[in-house]
């Protein structure tokens, strides 16, 4: 399940955004509207899902290229 959680600190006025269920760069793309509305992020942290991809393997791919 894809979730974007938004928490506000009432004393400092800072917003904290956390994303679950979206892999790779899709996380940044999914929250772009919040960054535009709230201001640029100053503490971006990558979770393990950032390093995964959103690609699904369909069929097979033959390639002689590496890394």
Report yes or no on 12 lying in a domain: yes
Domain carrying residue 12 = 3-39
Overall number of domains in the chain: 1
pTM exceeding 0.75: no
**44 domain-assigned:** no
**Cα distance between residue 7 and residue 55, in whole Å:** 30
In the predicted structure, residue 61 carries a pLDDT above the cut 60: no
Distance CA 64, CA 21 (A): 32
- The per-residue DSSP string of 39-61 comes to ---SS----GGGGS------S--
pLDDT at 10: 93
Convert the pLDDT of each residue in 7-48 to its tens digit.
998 998 888 888 888 888 888 888 889 888 888 887 888 888
Minimal CA–CA distance to 13: which of 35, 47, 38? 38
How many other CB atoms are there within 10 angstroms of residue 27's CB atom? 22
């Amino acid at each position: 399940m894809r979730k974007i959680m938004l928490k506000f600190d009432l004393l400092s006025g800072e917003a904290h955004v956390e994303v679950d269920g979206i892999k790779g760069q899709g996380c940044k793309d999914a929250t772009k509207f919040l960054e535009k509305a709230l201001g640029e992020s100053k503490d971006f942290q990558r979770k393990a899902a950032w390093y995964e991809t959103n690609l699904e393997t369909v069929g097979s791919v033959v390639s002689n290229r590496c890394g």
